A and B are shown apart, each in its own frame.
Chain A
Amino acid sequence: MAAQGVEQTILRDPALFYWILFPISVVMILTGILRHYATVLMNTPPKPASTLAESRERHALLRGVNLRNHGCAVLDREAFEARRNYLVNGFRTGAFLKDPNNRGQPPANPMTDPAGMEAMMGMLKGNMMMMIPQTLIMSWINAFFSGFVILKLPFPLTIRFKSMLQSGVMTRDLDVQWVSSLSWYFLNLMGLQSIFGFILGSDNAANQMAQQMGMANPAAMMNPMQPGQDPDKLFLAEAENLEVMEHFSILNGIEERVLRNFAPEVN
């Protein structure tokens, strides 16, 4: 154990700074930027519905939600009941489904369903963009720089931080303030987000821009259903929500409310 109160000193070659600390930081920043542009390049926008029925399946659920949330602000009892009956009936009989004949059958295997396959490819691509550079750089650092102590933090830390700051250096007695090269890599990996934000603009601005302009109205492109989810189940749940709903209207008694709220300021 290091003696209490005695400053540990390690004589470091200043070349360590120029040839390890600095290169690791620069490489990390450059790969971050590269990864950003690679993601932008490989990103495929969500596929719009290809048929009218598919588009209806995507939006029918929203209609139920809208009725539940906004019905009280717009409709009187009669109009509300009519809409509720229509929607509940539609949800129950599967009238809004893409193909009502396939109802009740288990959802298609996402591996064989081309739409599900595409979504999974998208996820896979995203993960690859994270994984590949990380593995490459980590093995590079392991091969060239493992075992170097390159930095001393100017403040004391508790022993808990030892595994975080000194990975790759198996010295039990070394003070926690010392940082190894491999740990410097990890610190960069986690801590460079704000620097990327500074360099690339608020995160992924270029990325979202192309998508936003692409859609005529955002609602038309949005797909509330995750791949592999059974729309029929969602519809049935929504039908139940609608059925148990108690209707009230904020338009009832609005005349007196308006008079009460407006009269004082006019007089």
Chain B
Amino acid sequence: MGGSVGTDVNGSDVLSALKLAQQAPAILGHGTAPSINIPAKVSRDTVEEYSRLEQLFLACLQTGDDKSAQECLDRLSQRFGPANERVMGLRGLYQEATAKDTAALDKCLAEYEKILSETPVNVPVMKRRIALLRSLQRPTDAIAALIQLLDAVPTDAEAWVELADLYQSQGLGSQAIFSMEEALLIAPNSWNIHARLGELLYVCSSSSEGDAGRLAGKSVQHFCRSIELCDDYLRGYYGLAMAASHVLENKYAPESSADPAVPSRRTIEQLKDLALRRLDHLVQSRSVDDQHWASSRGELIAAKELLNRYSAVNSAVK
């Protein structure tokens, strides 16, 4: 999630990463400080400065500017020492990113295992190892390693989300849902994880037979919670519209319910209408200042398509 810094890099947001990476020479201070060995300024020895450097490192790797990335890494390890866990993780990332072939990646993996045999609780390196296993197409190993990590550090929301993602990629829906719920227990107010859990439930409910109705109902609930927490979250409304129409199509909701916990068919219909209306509103307002929402253009296009589909259905009915 983006912070207030403005130059924050969102993992999936390539555009802002590119923008940040282009500023690399200015931030690293070429011209003012020609040699790497001279730290930029002593007065800038603050936490913000170094987390900014770390972000710059990631952005440079993402955009292929390996030289600047190397320089960032050098500075970080100069300040915190090469034995710092976080710096070790970053160095591993650099080696992975600059690896030429699978053999080089295998070498990285061997190196991680060597580090972990010396210091078993080195969380950044453990995470790098898991990510590497995943990109080497060994998801079962990655899941095993991740379970080991979570057994030791069960309060790491990021790891739980990753585990859910891995489970889902293996088609293990209920395990994925469990992991996502664990992540939510750690960060109960993150609307994006609520929406993600809703998506998982939605996918499960459309593929499984047994209690598809219950899963679909829970999916609607989590999307509702997501938009309750953030009332212009496009993904939440999109999911709500999808989940609600899924419930309606399969007639999971009773016509009128005695139990207040189970919503009636009419409520779900209203929810779907609400979601579609808000989506329409969001799409229109965001299409106007296109630049500001440039990073989420894909979501916007998907939302437009959904709206078109429903309006086509509606006009066909009429």
Interface residues of A (CB under 8 A from B): 48-56, 59-60, 62-63, 66-67, 70-71, 73-76, 79, 206, 209, 212-217, 219-220, 250-259, 261-263, 266
Contact = CB atoms under 8 A, between A and B. Distances in A.
Given A209-B46, A266-B277, A59 B184 contact: no
Given A213-B86, A258-B274, A259-B267, A75 B181 contact: yes
Nearest to A214: B84
Interchain residue pairs A-B with the least CB separation, the first 8: A70-B188, A52-B152, A255-B263, A73-B188, A55-B152, A74-B184, A251-B221, A252-B261
B155 A62 contact: yes
Nearest to A263: B274
A48 B79 CA distance: 20
A50 B153 contact: no
Given A74-B181, A257-B228, A262-B231, A55 B153 contact: yes
A258 to B, nearest CB: 5
Contact of B151 (A52, A70, A219): A52
A52 B154 CA distance: 11
Contact of A209 (B45, B84, B277): B45
Given A70-B184, A259-B267, A266-B274, A217 B123 contact: yes
A242 to B, nearest CB: 13
Nearest to A70: B188
Given A62-B155, A259-B271, 15 more contacts: A51-B120, A55-B153, A56-B152, A59-B155, A63-B155, A66-B185, A70-B188, A213-B79, A219-B155, A219-B156, A251-B224, A253-B263, A254-B224, A255-B220, A258-B271
B61 interface: no
B222 A251 contact: yes
A52 B278 CA distance: 47
21 contacts: A56-B154, A60-B154, A62-B154, A66-B186, A75-B185, A79-B181, A206-B45, A209-B45, A213-B79, A213-B80, A213-B84, A214-B85, A216-B89, A216-B123, A254-B224, A254-B225, A256-B263, A258-B274, A259-B271, A259-B274, A262-B231
B121 interface: yes
B161 interface: no
Interface of B is mostly: helix
A220 B124 CA distance: 10
B227 interface: yes
Given A209-B46, A217-B156, A251-B225, A49 B188 contact: no
Interface string B118-147: 011101100000000000000000000000
Interface string B258-296: 001101000110110010011001000000000000000
Contacts of B185: 66-67, 70-71, 74-75
Contacts of A216: 85-86, 89, 123-124
Contacts of A66: 155, 185-186
A61 to B, nearest CB: 10
B95 to A, nearest CB: 18
Contacts, number: 130
A261 B152 contact: no
Contacts of B79: 213
B162 to A, nearest CB: 13
Given A49-B121, A51-B121, A76-B218, A214 B80 contact: yes
Nearest to B194: A74
Contacts of B103: none
A50 B268 contact: no
Contacts of A209: 45-47
Nearest to B86: A216
Interface in B230-280: 231, 260-261, 263, 267-268, 270-271, 274, 277-278
Nearest to A48: B121
A113 to B, nearest CB: 19
B154 A63 contact: yes
Contacts of B94: none
Contacts of B178: 79
Contact of A258 (B86, B155, B224): B224
A258 B50 CA distance: 42
For A55, A73, A213, A256, which residue has the most chain B Cβ atoms within 10 angstroms? A213
A132 B85 CA distance: 35
A96 to B, nearest CB: 9
B121 A74 contact: no
A48 B185 CA distance: 24
Contacts of A214: 80, 84-86
A258 B229 CA distance: 10
A39 to B, nearest CB: 18
